[in-house]
Amino acid sequence: MTLATLSDVLRPALRDGYAVPGLVCLGWEDMRAFVAAAEAERAPVILQAGPSCRAHTPLPVLGTMMRYLAERATVPVVVHLDHGYTVEECREAIDAGFTSVMFDGSKKPLDENIAETAAIAELAHAAGVSCEGEIGFVGYQGGAASAGTDPDEAARFARETGVDAMAISVGNTHLQLEKGAGLDEQRIRAIEALADVPLVIHGGSGVPLDQRRALAQGSAICKFNIGTDLRFAFGDALRKAVNADPSRYDRVAILKETHDPVMEAARAAIRSVAAGGWA
């Protein structure tokens, strides 16, 4: 059994110079492929249930599915709630067996974000669960603009909330469809100099691969969330499977053809943050 908390996998990553990929799950087919990729690379992995995933499948079902995979894996697997927006949602995830919850209060005023995140971190820790928070708002491509993380505010946030990981806004964007210009390394260095906590990059698909690997190996960034790259792999594989034989309607046979392409995309994501060779 290698069910792990976020703290279990991020502290060794910070110590040894790599990052752990937070792979965004949308269903059974991709989460199964992600664990297969982690085992092939001998790497820890974080299975993430974000808002769109939870809109499709209830949290207790997701918790059972993810824990089933984690408990049978030979590498550490974290079952993680991504972008929880209320204490009730985080509590439901803890009750459903998630080993890590991310509370996103980044749109709230600083004092409110700190107070609510601290309360959820206390709730999580009492249950033996890790907690990730966010300071500075990470925007969305074609949507709300980012608000960069202030290093002094980040230091206060880390100190007063007691989070196990801190998501920051340093030029990253959610749902970015192409590799961007890169992250603001000067801001990253200022934050890590003041805040002694593993850092998290949301919107990791948009970070150039060379910078992603360099920061994984040489900064306090210990978690890159990867979603868009994996959605592309799944969508492309599904489209090819459907178009290859228009007379075929067996969803199991069709979805089976997404496994290998998605697994290979996840293996590439793992290698991009230098996480392989855990054991």
Range of the domain at 74: 3-272
The helix (run of H) or strand (run of E) holding residue 185 is helix 185-194
Instruction: For 227-261, write each residue's pLDDT tens digit.
Output: 999 999 999 999 999 999 989 999 999 999 999 99
* 134 vs 158: CA distance, rounded Å: 10
For residue 144, pLDDT beyond 70:
no
Does some domain include residue 277?
no
Among the listed residues 82, 104, 150, 229, the single catalytic one is 82
Question: Any idea which of 5-14, 130-139, 150-159, 211-220 has the lowest mean pLDDT?
Answer: 130-139
Those residues with Cβ within 8 angstroms of residue 54's Cβ, 6 or more apart along the chain or in another chain: 62
82 flagged as catalytic: yes
For residue 179, pLDDT beyond 80:
no
pLDDT for res 178 = 67
pLDDT for res 274 = 84
Signed CA dihedral, 144, 47, 226, 257: sign only: negative
**Percent above pLDDT 70 for the chain:** 94
Instruction: For 77-134, write each residue's pLDDT tens digit.
Output: 999 999 999 999 999 999 999 999 999 999 999 999 999 999 999 999 999 999 999 9
**Percent above pLDDT 90 for the chain:** 82
pLDDT band at 173 (very low <50, low <70, confident <90, very high): confident
Instruction: For 181-231, write each residue's pLDDT tens digit.
Output: 688 899 999 999 999 999 999 988 889 899 999 999 999 999 999 999 999
Question: Any idea which of 48-62, 145-159, 245-259 has the lowest mean pLDDT?
Answer: 145-159
pLDDT for res 139 = 72
Name the 3-class secondary structure at 260: helix
Does some domain include residue 278?
no
Name the 3-class secondary structure at 45: strand
Instruction: For 21-35, write each residue's pLDDT tens digit.
Output: 999 999 999 999 999
Does some domain include residue 53?
yes
* 2 vs 70: CA distance, rounded Å: 6
Unique residue bearing structure tokens 């550490």: 76
- Higher pLDDT residue, 183 or 48? 48
Query: What is the domain count for the chain?
Result: 1
What is the domain-level CATH number for residue 222? Answer: 3.20.20.70
pLDDT for res 10 = 97
Does some domain include residue 137?
yes
For every residue of 207-253, DSSP letters joined together read S-HHHHHHHHHHSSEEEEEE-HHHHHHHHHHHHHHHHH-TT---HHH
Q: How many Cα atoms sit within 13 Å of 160 on the Cβ side? A: 16
**Count of C-beta atoms within a 10 Å radius of residue 37:** 24
Does some domain include residue 255?
yes
Does some domain include residue 279?
no
pLDDT for res 278 = 63
Unique residue bearing structure tokens 């601290």: 118
For every residue of 48-81, DSSP letters joined together read EE-HHHHHHS-HHHHHHHHHHHHHH-SS-EEEEE
Full-model pTM: 0.94
Does some domain include residue 155?
yes
